[in-house]
Structure 1
Amino acid sequence: MKMIREFCAENNTYLEKAIKAGVDRIELCDNLAVGGTTPSYGIIDQAAKLCQSTGVELSVMIRPRGGDFCYSEQELAAMRVDIAQANKLGATGIVFGCLTSAHQLDVRACQYLIDGISNMDLTFHMAFDQINPSEKYQALDQLIELGFDRILLHGNQSEKTVIENADEINHYIDYVADKLEIMVGGGITATNLQEVAKVVRTNTFHGTKIVSF
């Protein structure tokens, strides 16, 4: 099975170098210092043109601010506008995550954001790691029902490496079978990628240093 490497790009910095290094997909965002927020429309436009010309997929982060993943009605409305613009500008996917104040998946907010979308990949980002551990399998079922293509996660214990969280992650992979792609990230680099791939049963990996250039 082909290994998929997703490069997390802050604006257009290193975008061309990552593509030349052979990445399969770009996650485009701004403000990595706070975990990533929505990039400007101009940045999306230029990244989309570059990705289209090179055959690389482009997923755009939809997140109006740093902090938690509980969004107001105004924030959700703004996120819908951003999704529509990313679609119009040529992005092939979007990346977002919505939670309730009780650390559950916010199904209503997710449904609101994806209503009417049929031509873009849907990725639920690392907000998944903040869902109550006892409710994660229910959340996986809900994400499948909503039509998400993949989730990005690191594991419940953020202080541990992906390898140390491998048993937990592999349980999720087995649970969803082929209904939902599990992408792992957080500390994965070109240097340790092969080691991670030996213990985590997925072929999809994410990071800011996923390739060397």
Structure 2
Amino acid sequence: MFKEVAVENFTKIPLAVAKGANRIELNDNLAVGGTTVSHGVLQEATKYLQEKSIPVVEMIRPRGGNFVYNDLEIKMMESDLFEAQKLGVDAVTFGALTSDGAIDEDAMEQLIAASSGMQVVFHMAFDALAEENKKDAIDWLVDHDVDRILTHGGPLTTDINDTLGNIKKYIDYADGRITILPGGGVNFKNCDAIAEKLGVKEVHGTKVIDGINN
């Protein structure tokens, strides 16, 4: 089982690594779902994780709230992506939507272009897409060489056991073309059962390892 642990800043990283985290998603402000960390935090966390041979995924999100960004916000995200590139970050996670619940293709193309050399993850903005747009979104992300989609399968207020059917639908539709990564409510107690039900080998969460964030 491949466990990606979402952490806030640097504090929990050494413990997460010691307890068996396979990959770290680095955030600030987890209370709002994660935003971009400072340059200093990113630099030290990346250096530490590179020494431990643990991949780091940086959250690229200029603020909490929705995923509909204006041109200035996209410019900020682009600048953060260039910084990540310079530091040798393994992967970046972001998502940009239109106000009517579809992928903001122009913004995403700009951000993907700025992510050259790094893996790209489309984060839980996926769950804010209109349901009828999700299959097209999966196809678009596959066509643009995005590596993973992080999804809860529905609103975060809904228990993950009630959204597993949706996640399974996305996995079946993706058919191995892109990794579907379940998250949001996945923890060290339920991760094995969830992975088995979905037939996945990777899980994501703040509490997927006992003793981290719990």
When normalised by structure 2's length, the TM-score is 0.95
SS at match of 1:163: helix
Partner of 1:205: 203
What is the rounded CA distance, in whole Å, between the counterparts of 2:196 and 2:113 in structure 1?
38
Partner of 1:16: 14
Partner of 1:186: 184
What is the rounded CA distance, in whole Å, between the counterparts of 2:83 and 2:151 in structure 1?
26
Partner of 2:61: 63
Give the letter for the 2:169 counterpart.
H
Partner of 1:88: 86
Flag the 1:159–1:116 CA change in 2: closer, same or farther, 3 A. Answer: closer
Give the letter for the 1:20 counterpart.
A
Contact 1:59–1:91 (8 Å) recurs in 2? yes
Give the letter for the 2:97 counterpart.
L
Partner of 2:41: 43
Deviation at 1:128, TM superposition (A): 0.3
What is the rounded CA distance, in whole Å, between the counterparts of 2:79 and 2:95 in structure 1?
16
Deviation at 1:28, TM superposition (A): 0.3
Partner of 2:117: 119
Long gaps (5+) in structure 1: none
CA deviation profile, 1:95-140 (whole Å, cap 9, x unmatched): 0010000011111110011115331010000010010001100010
Contact 1:153–1:182 (8 Å) recurs in 2? yes
1:195 counterpart (168, 193, 196): 193
When normalised by structure 1's length, the TM-score is 0.96
Deviation at 1:157, TM superposition (A): 4.3
Partner of 2:71: 73
Let me know the Cα RMSD of the aligned residues: 1.1
Give the letter for the 1:155 counterpart.
G
Deviation at 1:74, TM superposition (A): 0.6
What is the rounded CA distance, in whole Å, between the counterparts of 2:145 and 2:195 in structure 1?
26
What is the rounded CA distance, in whole Å, between the counterparts of 2:92 and 2:16 in structure 1?
19
Partner of 2:128: 130
What is the rounded CA distance, in whole Å, between the counterparts of 2:190 and 2:154 in structure 1?
20
Equivalences, count: 211
CA deviation profile, 1:156-190 (whole Å, cap 9, x unmatched): 24333222211211111111111100001111111
What is the rounded CA distance, in whole Å, between the counterparts of 2:202 and 2:46 in structure 1?
21
What is the rounded CA distance, in whole Å, between the counterparts of 2:142 and 2:132 in structure 1?
18
Contact 1:163–1:200 (8 Å) recurs in 2? no
SS at match of 1:26: strand
Long gaps (5+) in structure 2: none
What is the rounded CA distance, in whole Å, between the counterparts of 2:7 and 2:157 in structure 1?
23
Question: Runs ≥4 in structure 1, deviation > 3 angstroms?
Answer: none
Contact 1:150–1:181 (8 Å) recurs in 2? yes
